[in-house]
Amino acid sequence: MKRHATLTVIGRDKTGVIARITNFLFQQGANIEALEEQVTRGQFSMTLQATWHPRHLDEAVVRQGLEKLGRELEMEITLRFIEPHRVQRMAILVTREPHCLEALLHAWKNQKLRGAEPVVVIGNRPDLQPLARQHQIPFLHIPWEDRNQAEQKALETLEQYQCDFVVLARFMKILSPNFVWRYKNKIINIHPSLLPSFPGPQAYRQAWERGVKIVGVSAHFVTMHLDEGPIIAQSAFPVTRGMTLADIVARGRQHEAKTLLRAIRLFLSKRLDVYWGIVKEV
C-alpha cells in the first residue's frame, strides 16, 4: 500500500524553491500527486501531496533531507504522513456559542460521525470547557489578544494531538494566512449566511435589515480571504411574516449545526475536490 504525505512550505519568497524541493523528493522515490503554491505580499506558500511505494521510502532520510533544505532555504518545511483509511483526528475551535459543538459531540458519541474523532477543543474563551469535559475531550483555553502568540500556541497544540483537520464551530476569530496555509482545505467553518452574501460577524442582522426573504448558512473551507472559501454545503429557510431578528437567529442556529455536520461528513467521505475555488464531489 502506498504511503501518503502532505508537505507544507512557508517562508520569504525566493527563486528555486519549488525546483529544489521537488528534485529532492524525486531523488527519494516520491511521486508528486498535487502541488499548489502562491506568493502573498512576499511570503511564499506551497502545499504538496506526495506518495511513495513502501520499498522506496526511507522516512528518516526524507525528514533529515527536508530539515536540511529548510535551513538552507530559511523556510519552514513540515511533512505529515497520512494514513488514508485511519480515523481522522479532529480539532474543534470554539468561542462561546454551544450549539455547533453540542451537535458535533452528540453525533460523535452516537456514532453518527464515522471516520472522525474529536481529540481536542480549543477555545479563545473558557465558556465551553464544561461541555468538552462532559464528553471527556481535552479543552485548551487560549486567549486571543495577541493573535500571533495565540495562533502559534494553537498550531503547537494541533501538532501535539496529531490533528488531521480543524472545525471552526462558531469560532469568532479570524485566522491569519500563516495559520490557514498549514491546513489548506482542512479547516471547515460554518458561516450564518448564504455566501457570498453577508460576510462578517453580523450576517443575520444584515439579512434582517435588508429584508431578505430567504436566510441561510454556508459551510466552507477557510482560505486567507474572510468568508470567501470554497463552499461545501448550504442550507436555507424562508423568513415568514412577523419573524423577529431573534427568531431568525434561533432558526439559523439549528441550520448551522446540521449543515456543519453535513459538510464534515462530505469531507470524511473523501469525495471532495477543490478546483479553481469550487468544491466538487468526485
Query: Catalytic: which of 58, 127, 164, 227?
Result: 227
Q: Letter for the amino acid at 254?
A: Q
Active site residue 58: no
Chain Cα centroid distance, residue 148? 18
Can the peptide bond before residue 196 be classed as cis, meaning omega within 30 degrees of 0?
yes
Residues whose CB is less than 8 angstroms from the CB of residue 264 and which lie 6 or more positions away in sequence, other chains included: 90, 104, 113, 116, 167, 188
- The Cα 170–Cα 202 span in angstroms is 13
Nearest CA among 133, 119, 173, 128 for reference residue 149? 173
Q: Residue 65 — φ and ψ, nearest 5°?
A: -65, -40
In contact, 281 and 272? CB cutoff 8 Å:
yes
In contact, 9 and 48? CB cutoff 8 Å:
yes
What residues act catalytically? 227
